[in-house]
Amino acid sequence: MQRRRGCELSKYNDTVLTTEGTRLATLAANGKTHYVITRAVATGDDLSDLTDEQLAALTKLPNEVQEGSIVEQVDDPSGSDGVIGTRVQFMNQGLNKSYSMNALGVYAKEDGHDQEVLFSVMTAESQHAQYMPDFADKVVLRFGITIFVIVGDKANVTVKLDPDGLATIKFVEDAIARIPKPDMTEYYSKKESDDLLSKKVADNGDDSMNLNGKRIMPANDANVVHRNPDTGSVSEPVDFTNLTVNGGKSVATSDDLNDYYHANASDDAALAAAKSATVPGIFWYEEA
């Protein structure tokens, strides 16, 4: 039950133990040997046509392009002592030619033996191999992946970590930590902004708006007075329906006054009262 985890853009198949890898894992599970996982490598060769049996028969990853740095040993998420994860990072620094990382291999060395053996192989899913660009443009790319393999018993296995790789990770993490972070207390979140605006201005959906809790009708071309562009004066008739001034007092139109006069002119009492009323600037004249 090998598992793997890569970056979101790349996808890799389950790890396959080689014949030598199976032998070491079996011996380690029975406490009969100890071995060291030494390094991880990548190739641009497409091995997707090989069966698991053919992959298991490999003794070397063909046409290795670059070696990764093993930077961490990771325990199996399920808690199994028979599985170990090796966190590996590949960087394009010093790479002269771009390639796709079509297969990854892990090497190991048994105690008492001088020769490394290919321990496991992991192939990329079709069209999902990680692309590693060359370093011609001096742009650094780092690809990290955790390779889980059956090791038998992790008590009998050591993962050799690369100090240079660890230093690179620390350098990157320290550089990120030094980037100034903005003071977010001076900014509103989207929800806070929406809540604040909704309390100030809201569209009612019927051509009216609520402004600070009061319903208003915004001005538009149909309900504003137009000035003559040449004279600056209002030169067109305007109908102010139900116009009030000075706190709500109604304003009479000329038609209102004319209708009132003729309706009450025959009323002697009303006419006498009108004549006797003293209003500054208003004078009464008999109609001829």
Backbone phi and psi for residue 83, each to the nearest 5 degrees, phi listed first:
-130, 135
Give the containing element (helix H, strand E) for 149. strand 142-150
H or E, element range at 244 = strand 244-245
CA-nearest of 24, 141, 144 to 72 is 144
Burial 238-265 (b: 16+ CB within 10 A, else e): eeeeeeeeeeeeeeeeeeeeeeeeeeee
Instruction: Please tell me the predicted confidence (pLDDT) of residue 182.
Output: 72
Residues in the chain predicted with pLDDT less than 50, given as ranges, are 1-8, 281
pLDDT at 22: 96
50-108 pLDDT tens trace:
999 999 999 999 999 999 999 888 888 888 889 999 999 999 988 999 999 999 999 99
Whether residue 117 contacts residue 107, with contact meaning beta carbons closer than 8 Å, is answered with: yes
Decide: 70 and 42 in contact? Cβ < 8 Å: no
Query: What's residue 214's pLDDT?
Result: 76
pTM listed for this prediction:
0.56
